[in-house]
Each structure stands twice: as C-alpha cells, then as structure tokens.
Amino acid sequence: MKRKHRRLLAVSVALGLFALATALVLNALNSSGALAFFATPTDLEQKPPPPERRIRLGGLVETGSVKRAADGRSLDFRITDGKSTVPVTYDIANGPVPDLFREGQGVVVEGKLGSGGIFRADTLLAKHDERYMPPEVAEALKRSGHWQGEHPPATEAKP
C-alpha cells in the first residue's frame, strides 16, 4: 500500500470517527436529560420553562421553610432570590442531603418544574465551604438586589 493511500485511509478513518463523535455529541446536547439550564426563582415565575426541560435552580434556602417528611424520604423547602420564591421537593433517594445544606444559605438544585409549580429536584448541591458560593447563585442574587454581603461571593473572595 502506497504512502498516499495509507494516509488517505487514516484520514478517512479519523474523519469517520470524528463525524460519529460529533453526531453523538449533538444528539446528547439536544436531548433533555443531559443539559440543565440555570434559572433563578424570578426566571421561573416570569417565563415558566417547558415541563420536560431540566433546570438548575439557584438561590437561598428560605429561612423557616425546610420540612422533612416523616418517613425521612423527602425534603421540602423553598428557594428564594428575594423577589420570587419556588417550592422545592427533593427525594433523598437521589443522594443524601449535603452536610452544608442549611436555611439562609446558598443552594443549587437540579430537576424539573412539576405540576402545581412545585420544583421536583433530583440533585441538591450546597455550598462546599463557608467561603464558597456557586458563582451563578451569587450573580443571580446580585441581579435581583438581594445580595446582603454577609456571604461574600466566591468571585470576591480575597486572594
């Protein structure tokens, strides 16, 4: 086999694999399960997303809103950005409640907006330490004017 042919074969295999990968990537990016769109409670109130869309909802856990189901299987609370509030229910079969989940603190949940405006979360992320705030939450809180400054945003943490 000539060098030219060999190279042609290698290039076509490479292109074929690349095309396959691109097809897989595009397919995955278009399916509803793989991507989650970040939203704040205000966003959800103003423009309710289609029910099949995965949402990553960020804000503060409203003080006094956390209730645990008697059987310990789900956790109900409300997420607020100061303007709007969204009720959330989290099924703990999806994973334990993070140790840092607390009222009045930043939180990010992922899931879908269910019937009755209740957000059904299957992922629950809390700040990982005292100084860390998910940047998207910090930004959203700033935009809504609810920034209190008591928990400095990660982007302003001192060097």
Interacting residues with another protein (CB under 8 A): 1, 3, 6, 9-10, 13-14, 17-18, 20-21, 24-25, 27-29, 31, 33-38, 54, 56, 68, 71-73, 92-93, 95-97, 99-100, 108, 110, 125, 128-130, 132, 134-136, 154-155, 157, 159
Nearest distance, CB of residue 140 and another protein, angstroms:
9
Task: Give whichever of 1 and 116 is closer to another protein, judged by the CB atom.
Answer: 1
Task: Give whichever of 18 and 117 is closer to another protein, judged by the CB atom.
Answer: 18
121 contacts 111 by C-beta, under 8 angstroms: yes
Report how far residue 54's alpha carbon sits from residue 33's, in angstroms, rounded to the nearest whole number: 7
Residue 79 CA: distances (Å) to CA of 21, 27, 28, 63, 108: 38, 32, 29, 9, 9
Task: Give whichever of 40 and 80 is closer to another protein, judged by the CB atom.
Answer: 40
Largest CA distance in the chain: 76
Nearest distance, CB of residue 52 and another protein, angstroms:
14
Nearest distance, CB of residue 45 and another protein, angstroms:
17
Task: Give whichever of 27 and 63 is closer to another protein, judged by the CB atom.
Answer: 27
Question: Which of 77, 70, 81 lies closest to 101, judged by CA?
Answer: 77
Nearest distance, CB of residue 68 and another protein, angstroms:
7
Query: Which distant-in-sequence residues (6+ apart) come within 8 Å of 90 by Cβ?
Result: 74, 75, 76, 77, 97, 109, 111, 121, 122, 124
